[in-house]
């Protein structure tokens, strides 16, 4: 069995965990060649995307804004900055970079906080903070002015 196949089993188990929290799987593609796959979930006021590209895993979450499935646009690193729980999963200097397990573990530990931050009364401030965090984390941030 390949590492990707092992990871895919974890994604399928994650499906069950999310379903137990009231999330629905609303989009799926793969797994396909070159260890690529996509899962898209909705629930708890958020949209969550799990993507594998050539065996590198990326989790992204965003407030569910008016049914827009594209709102799963913020990395766990951005959420970590906003929530005050550092997260760093994508770096050439970290042995566990782009691995699925650390990202799933972090998300399980902080999903309730993400849901609270995405509630209707907090979503505007959360979205602004996420945009600022994404800019601060960008390797090549856009020019000001």
Q: Mean pLDDT throughout 19-24?
A: 96
Q: Please, are residues 73 and 59 in contact by the beta-carbon 8 Å criterion? A: no
Query: 18 pLDDT exceeds 60?
Result: yes
Q: How far apart are CA 86 and CA 41, in angstroms?
A: 24
Query: 65 pLDDT exceeds 80?
Result: no
Rounded to 5 degrees, φ, ψ at 84 are 80, 20
Three-class secondary structure of residue 137 per DSSP: helix
The string of pLDDT tens digits covering residues 92-123 is: 555 556 788 889 999 999 999 999 999 999 99
The string of pLDDT tens digits covering residues 23-62 is: 999 998 887 778 788 999 999 999 999 998 887 888 999 9
DSSP secondary structure string for all residues of 82-113: HHT-------TT-TTTT-HHHHHHHHHHHHHH
Task: Provide the residue ranges of all domains of the chain, joining segments of one domain with +.
Answer: 3-137
Higher per-residue confidence, 70 vs 53: 53
Q: What pLDDT does 91 receive? A: 56
Three-class secondary structure of residue 17 per DSSP: helix
pLDDT band at 68 (very low <50, low <70, confident <90, very high): low
Q: What pLDDT does 111 receive? A: 96
Q: How far apart are CA 12 and CA 81, in angstroms?
A: 28
């Amino acid at each position: 069995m390949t590492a990707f196949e092992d990871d895919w089993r974890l994604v399928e188990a994650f499906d069950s965990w999310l379903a137990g929290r009231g999330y629905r799987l609303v989009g799926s593609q793969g797994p396909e060649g070159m260890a690529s796959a996509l899962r898209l979930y909705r629930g708890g006021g958020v949209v969550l995307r799990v993507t594998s590209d050539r065996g590198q895993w990326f989790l992204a979450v965003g407030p569910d804004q008016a049914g827009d499935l594209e709102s799963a646009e913020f990395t766990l690193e951005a959420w970590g900055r906003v929530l005050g729980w550092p997260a760093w999963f994508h770096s050439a200097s970290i042995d566990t970079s782009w691995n699925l397990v650390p990202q799933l573990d972090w998300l399980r530990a902080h999903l309730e906080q993400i849901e609270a931050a995405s509630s209707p009364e907090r979503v505007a401030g959360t979205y602004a903070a996420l945009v600022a965090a994404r800019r601060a984390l960008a390797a090549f941030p856009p020019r000001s002015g």
